[in-house]
Amino acid sequence: MSIRNPSPSAFRPKNGIDQRILESNKALIADIGRRGILRGSLSLGALTMLTGCDVTDESAVQSVLRTVSSFNDRVQQFLFRPDHLAPTYSEAEVVKPPRYNAYYDVNDVDPVDGATWKLELAGLVADRRSWDVQRFSTLPEQEWIIRHICVEGWDYIGQWSGVNLRHFLEVVGADLKAKYVAFKCADGYSGSIDMATALHPQTILATKYARQTITDPFGYPLRLRTATKLGFKNPKWITAIEVTNVYPGGYWEDRGFNWFAGI
C-alpha cells in the first residue's frame, strides 16, 4: 500500500498527519523496534510495510502495532528460560548512588514513612496478613549485582539485596501456578510480571542497595529488582502485591509498552 499524500495546506507541514501518528504511537513502535523486527530507524515507508496500512489511518496502524506487540509478549514468554541466569558483575562495577528514574522528577519524590508503611497482600495468597518493616526484616536476604536497563536507552550496574520473591511467595502461601504477580506503589505507579519471572532466582523484593537500606528515591522501603526485565518492570515503593490470573497491566504497560519487556 502506498502512503496517501495529505491534502496540501499552507498551515500544515508536509506529512503532518503521518508524523503525528508516528509520534502518538512512539511507545509501541520503540518497543517493536527494540525487538529487532524493524531494522534501522523507522520511516513512514517501513511503518506502511510493517502494518500494510494506510498510515493516515491511525486506528488501523495502532491495532496492527498492538497485535505485533502482544505477539512479541507470547514469543518472549515462550523463549524465557526459567533457570537461565542474567549476567552478574563485580562490586567494583557498582554505580553509587544508583541512577534515578520515575515518571516524575527526583525533587517530586514523596518519601514513604517506614514507621507506618505496610505491605498488603491480595488475590491467590493463603496468608494475607500485611507486613511491616520490622517483620519484613526477619526474612532471609540475598544479593545480586545486576544491570538495570531502561527503555529510554541508559543502564547501570547495581547491587541489590532483599528477599528472593519465590521464597516470599512460598512463605505467604501464594498460588505459584497463577499467571501474574501485580504490584501497587505509594506513588500511584503499578506493574505486573509473569509468574515465571516472579519465580526466577534473580528476582527479589529489594530493601538494600550496596548493603545499605535503600534511600527514598530508589524505593524505600521496598522495591522489586529483577535481572531479566527492563527498568520499568521494577516497581519502587511497593505497598501491595496481588497474585492473580486476571491480566493486571501496569502504568507503562497501559500506555503502550510491551508487557513482557524481557532484556
Instruction: Find the shortest distance in angstroms from Cβ 219 to ligand MTE.
Output: 6
Indicate which of Mo ion, ligand MTE, none lies near residue 225 (CB less than 5 to 8 Å, by partner kind). none
Number of residues that bind Mo ion (CB under 5 A): 3
| N-terminal to C-terminal alpha carbon distance within the chain | 34
Q: At what angle do helices 58-79 and 16-24 cross, to 10 degrees?
A: 30
| Binding at 247: pick from Mo ion, ligand MTE, none (beta carbon under 5-8 Å per type) | none
Residue 178 in contact with residue 196, Cβ under 8 Å?
A: no
Which residue reads 511497593 in cell numbers?
238
Q: Binding partner of residue 154 among Mo ion, ligand MTE, none, CB under 5 to 8 Å per kind? A: none
> Cell triple for residue 163?
528477599
At 69, phi and psi to the nearest 5? -65, -40
Q: How far is the CB of 229 from Mo ion (least distance, A)?
A: 11
Q: Least CB distance from residue 30 to Mo ion, whole Å?
A: 12
Among Mo ion, ligand MTE, none, residue 28 binds (CB under 5-8 Å by kind): none
221 upstream amide cis, omega within 30 of 0: yes
The interface mask with Mo ion, positions 149-168, x = CB under 5 A, is -x------------------
Other CB atoms within 10 A of residue 107 CB: 6
Tell me which residues touch ligand MTE (CB under 6 A).
Answer: 98-103, 148, 150, 185, 187, 189, 218, 231-232, 234-237
Of the pair 232, 260, the CB lying nearest Mo ion is at 232
CB closer to Mo ion, 221 vs 231? 231
Residue 237 binding: pick among ligand MTE, Mo ion, none (C-beta 5-8 Å cut-off by kind):
ligand MTE
Return the one option of ligand MTE, Mo ion, none that residue 102 interacts with (CB less than 5 to 8 A, by type). Answer: ligand MTE
Nearer to ligand MTE, 5 or 212 (CB): 212
Region near Mo ion per CB under 5 A, out of 105-113, 144-152, 172-180, 241-249: 144-152
Cβ at position 187, least distance to ligand MTE in Å? 5
Between CA 102 and CA 88 the distance in angstroms is 24
- State phi, psi for 226 to the nearest 5 degrees: -125, 140
**224-263 binders of Mo ion (CB under 5 A):** 231-232
Residue numbers 10-69 binding Mo ion by CB under 5 A: none
Q: Cα–Cα–Cα angle for 61, 67, 70, nearest 5°?
A: 140
Q: Which three cell numbers stand for residue 68?
A: 505485533
Partner interacting with residue 166 (select from ligand MTE, Mo ion, none; CB below 5-8 Å by kind): none
Here the contacts of 139-144 (C-beta below 8 Å, separation 24 or greater) are 139/163, 139/167, 139/168, 139/171, 140/164, 140/167, 141/207, 141/208, 142/204, 143/208, 143/211, 144/88, 144/202, 144/204, 144/225, 144/227
Q: Residue 67 or residue 212: which is nearer to ligand MTE going by CB?
A: 212
Residues making contact with Mo ion (CB under 5 A): 150, 231-232
